[in-house]
Structure 1
Amino acid sequence: MIISIGNDHAGPDYKKAIVAHLEQLGHQVLNHGTDTTASVDYPDFGHPVAEDIERGAAQFGIVICGSGNGIAMTVNKHAQIRAALCWTKEIAQLARLHNDANVISIPARFTSVQQAVELVDVFLNTEFEGGRHANRVAKIACS
């Protein structure tokens, strides 16, 4: 699977651990994140993740910032993106099951690196349930 990742200055350690984990599992990762803790603007790293998904270069995205909110808002500006802010495994699972989320947003200041890796695993290993949720998901994107 090809996964796109982007992060701001709050997430370089998270990104490094997640990328290593995903590559160990055999996934390819497109890296759009910063590698330093020097202050940067999260939209510069979120939009490329959304664009990878929109053009079919990646199946899923992972975005990371301090609260997870700003970068989630950024990628959700793209019509084909359904980003979910996740801080527990249950929320990550429901984001995939019920919302067919294709991007997970991780709040670095509110999760540990290990939790973030676990969130990504749950997210990527959960299939969309469809059924009663499919009609709702179809109504999310604006044209």
Structure 2
Amino acid sequence: MLMKIAIGGDHAGFQYKERLIKYLEGAGHDVTDFGPDSDASVDYPDHVHPLASSVASEDHDLGILICGSGNGVAMTANKHENVRAALCWNTEIASLSRQHNNANIICLPARFVAYEYAESLAETFVNTEFEGGRHGRRVEKINC
């Protein structure tokens, strides 16, 4: 299924972001780049908050955030109501974050996974459906 995907992060994730945009667009997805525009040092919240707001308001179906560890972007994105950002470093976690938690943003640790694996994580995340059922009941309890 083709998606509207928001992508962003920080300077440590810039190179992966640029490559993932080409990969995702090549697969037919509509991708919006929330920055940064170079690998110069930036404050990741400046890029994460607009992206997370866009996913929370359903202007985009899913988001992809990339920074050095994935932690900073995940913590920031999860401050937004209706955002469920999942830090993923293997495909099983990426799949389960969608199936069981209905995650709508994947956070990738660029300094800890090779680009090819990051691409596989993003592909798994985008192509995995939420199972609903008992998981839906739990997801409904996440927002404060």
Q: TM-score of the superposition, structure 1-length normalised? A: 0.96
TM-align CA RMSD: 0.8
Greater than 3 Å deviation, 4+ residue runs: none
Pairwise CA distance, 1:7? 1.3
Give the corresponding residue for 1:133: 135
Equivalent of residue 121 in structure 1, options 107, 123, 129:
123
Partner deviation per Cα, 1:34-80 (whole Å, 9 max, x = no partner): 13221111101111111111222100000011100011000100011
From 15, 18, 21, the equivalent of 1:19 is: 21
Moved more, 46-55 or 86-95: 46-55
| Distance in 2 separating the partners of 1:41 and 1:82 | 21
Q: 1:53 aligns with which of 52, 55, 58?
A: 55
Separation of aligned partners in 2, 1:8 and 1:106: 11
The runs of 5 or more residues in structure 1 that have no matched partner are none
Structure 2: runs of 5 or more not aligned:
none
Task: Find the residue that maps to 1:109 and give its secondary structure.
Answer: coil
Identity of aligned residues (%): 56
1:41 alignment counterpart? 43
The one-letter code matched in structure 2 to 1:15 is K
Q: Which residue of 1 aligns with 2:9?
A: 7
Q: Residue 11 of structure 2 aligns to a residue in which SS?
A: coil
Distance 1:19 1:78 in 2: 24
Instruction: Report the Cα offset of residue 118 of structure 1.
Output: 0.5
- Superposition TM-score, scaled by structure 2 size: 0.95
Kept in 1: contact 2:85–2:105 (CA 8 A): yes
2:122 is paired with a residue whose SS is helix
Alignment check: 8 A CA contact 2:15 2:39 kept: no
